[in-house]
Amino acid sequence: MALSDEQRARLAADAAEIIGRYPRSRSALLPLLHLVQAEEGYVSADGLAFCAGQLGLTEAEVTAVVSFYTMYKRRPVGDYHVGVCTNALCAVMGGDAIFADLQQHLGVGNDETTPDGKITLEHLECNAACDYAPVMMVNWEFFDDMTPQSARALVDGLRAGADISPTRGAPRLCSWREASRILAGYPDDQATAGHTAGHATLAGLRIAREHGWEPQPSGSSRSAARQPGTAAGGQQ
């Protein structure tokens, strides 16, 4: 898709602001790619060339970055990018079953978009949320402890325009393009509410409080934890 003159003018103004935040212009490449993705819904060949021109880079250099980071898409994405973690723990906890069920339910394969343009489905690598496995993400917001049934209800709600909030983190879901603009570094209201830790993440802290455990200063002796009369080697 070719950028229109209006899009180019809008992007150029925003790009100048982003580039000005960095002492070296090429450091602005990642947010600039998110900016282009916010405008187009993905990083087109024209968008890639725009970033290269703004930063004095070759298109090959920009392509190397775009192809490395999976958050940048080279094909149009739906209003909601639905990712299902199929890495080891999520997979054995049900992620594989969820992904297979959603493919059948939505009638799309991996990295494909529904005909109505609402949902793009993709299997994801680890999202560092293993304590909530199996995990899904919608436009990079968490949905925890999922099942095939709850996953179907989630995508059906998204397609119907229901008011759906992430399990934790941001207070509301943004569209794919809105999320990309936030990732480009523009202010948003997503950090004003919500929470990032839940029952699974806080389980260790809860158990420690129940037992009255306190952290030990760095380098402190552990002798107090040994049984009376037990030497360091474990012999009486």
Secondary structure E strands in 37-186: 80-85, 112-113, 119-124, 136-138, 141-143
- Output the pLDDT for position 54: 96
High-pLDDT (> 70) share of the chain, %: 88
**CATH number, domain at 88?**
3.40.30.10
- Output the pLDDT for position 198: 72
Q: Taking residues 133-140, what's their average pLDDT?
A: 96
- Output the pLDDT for position 215: 85
Secondary structure E strands in the chain: 80-85, 112-113, 119-124, 136-138, 141-143
6-15, 149-158, 214-223: least confidently modelled range: 214-223
Do both 155 and 98 map to the same domain? yes
Do both 38 and 92 map to the same domain? no
Asked whether residue 138 carries a pLDDT value surpassing 70, the answer given is: yes
Which DSSP state fits 138?
Answer: E
Secondary structure E strands in 52-187: 80-85, 112-113, 119-124, 136-138, 141-143
Is residue 205 included in any domain, yes or no? no
Higher pLDDT, 107 or 222: 107
Is residue 214 included in any domain, yes or no? no
Number of domains forming the structure of the chain: 2
Do both 86 and 167 map to the same domain? yes
Q: How confident is the model at residue 151 (pLDDT cuts 50, 70, 90)?
A: very high
127-131, 134-138, 199-203: least confidently modelled range: 199-203
Q: Give residue 179's Cα distance to chain centre.
A: 10
Is residue 117 included in any domain, yes or no? yes
Asked whether residue 189 carries a pLDDT value surpassing 50, the answer given is: yes
High-pLDDT (> 90) share of the chain, %: 74
Count other Cβ atoms within 10 Å, centred on residue 27. 13
Contacts of 58 by beta carbon, 8 Å cutoff, 6+ apart: 52
Higher pLDDT, 184 or 3: 184
CB-CB contact of 17 with 54 (8 Å): no
Per residue in 193-234, pLDDT tens? 556 667 777 888 889 999 999 888 876 655 444 444 444 444
- Output the pLDDT for position 196: 67
Is residue 206 included in any domain, yes or no? no
- What's the burial of 4, exposed, middle or buried (CB within 10 Å: 0-12/13-18/19+)? exposed
Is residue 28 included in any domain, yes or no? yes
Give the domain extent around 156.
80-174
CB-CB contact of 173 with 139 (8 Å): yes
**CATH number, domain at 9?**
1.10.10
In angstroms, the Cα distances linking 211 to 118, 206, 214 are 49, 9, 9
Long-range contacts (CB closer than 8 Å, 24 or more residues apart) made by 152-157: 152/101, 152/102, 152/105, 154/82, 155/80, 155/82, 155/102, 155/105, 155/106, 155/119
- Output the pLDDT for position 1: 66
Q: What is the rounded distance in angstroms from the CA atom of residue 176 to the CA atom of residue 158?
A: 12
Do both 103 and 152 map to the same domain? yes
Is residue 182 included in any domain, yes or no? no
Q: How confident is the model at residue 4 (pLDDT cuts 50, 70, 90)?
A: confident
Strand pairing of 119-124 and 80-85?
parallel
Q: What is the rounded distance in angstroms from the CA atom of residue 11 to the CA atom of residue 2?
A: 13
Q: How confident is the model at residue 60 (pLDDT cuts 50, 70, 90)?
A: very high
Is residue 73 included in any domain, yes or no? no
Is residue 201 included in any domain, yes or no? no
